[in-house]
Structure 1
Amino acid sequence: MTDDEILTLRVTVIGGERCEHDYEVIWHGLSIGRIRRAEASSRAELWAWNCWLYGRPCKADEAGGGASLDDAKAQFREAWHRIRARLTEADIARAKGYAERGGCRRK
């Protein structure tokens, strides 16, 4: 696995509160998405996920749901690889700039 492929999960914190079963996905120090346990009408477990990059609109195939955390992580990774393949260094620099200025950052 190369450095460019390493994704890290960090527990989501909103308003100083840690969110159980809710993870922010980090790539090179930049938040690129979220994976969280979703409310389900049935007893089946469901994990929702979505990819994003600051300053870039999200597309329909950049979000979804998995039957387990591992399934959601695998789907997320596939979507991120598609996104990453289209990104330029300028896109990444712009996203880092937004993040550094506090754009949509969770604390």
Structure 2
Amino acid sequence: MRPTRLNGDIAGPNDYVVIWRGITVGRILQQPGTPVGKPNWFWGVNLPGQPQPAAHRGICSDIEECIRRFKVVWSGVKAGLTDEATDAARRTEQRGGELKKWRGDRSSDTP
């Protein structure tokens, strides 16, 4: 897990991207503005360029539960990945970074 960066700046104190082999494969963050007493941590597993099934994301009461759920889903996703799918995800993420740089958005420079 690394702090999420938007426009080169850290997005917030409780906002993380999850990196695997140089590819962003998910995010875990505390959602601001959630009513007191409601679960306010979000987690999601997603490979660049692939749809995200509803079962690959959720809301929890704390970061530890998000990490646990993320790991369960990610272990299943990772077990089914081929080298070709990994390479395609890497290319998709790189193309996205190139587009952001072209537009002047430097957020992809340091995930």
Quote the Cα distance in structure 1 between the aligned partners of 2:65 and 2:93: 28
| Residue matched to 2:3 | 11
Output the CA distance in 2 between the equivalents of 1:78 and 1:38. Answer: 21
Gaps of 5+ in 1: 1-8
Tell me the TM-score normalised to structure 2 length. 0.79
Moved over 6 A (4+): none
Q: 1:34 aligns with which of 23, 27, 36?
A: 27
% identical equivalent positions: 28
Q: Is the 8 A contact 2:39 2:61 kept in 1?
A: yes
TM-score (norm 1): 0.82
Q: 1:44 offset after TM fit, Å?
A: 4.7
Question: How many equivalent pairs are there?
Answer: 99
**Cα deviations by residue, 1:44-65 (Å, 9 ceiling, x for unpaired):** 5521011110121110100011
Q: For 1:16-59, what per-residue CA distance to the aligned partner results, in whole angstroms no more than 9, with x for missing partners?
A: 22112100001111100100001321235521011110121110
Amino acid at match of 1:88: T
Q: Is the contact made by 1:66 and 1:75 (CA closer than 8 Å) also made in structure 2? A: no
More strand by share: 1
1:64 aligns with 2:58: yes
In the alignment, is the contact (CA less than 8 A) between 2:39 and 2:59 conserved in 1? no
Q: Over aligned residues, Cα RMSD in angstroms?
A: 1.9
Query: Bigger relative contact order, structure 1 or 2, given CA contacts below 8 A and separation 6+?
Result: 2
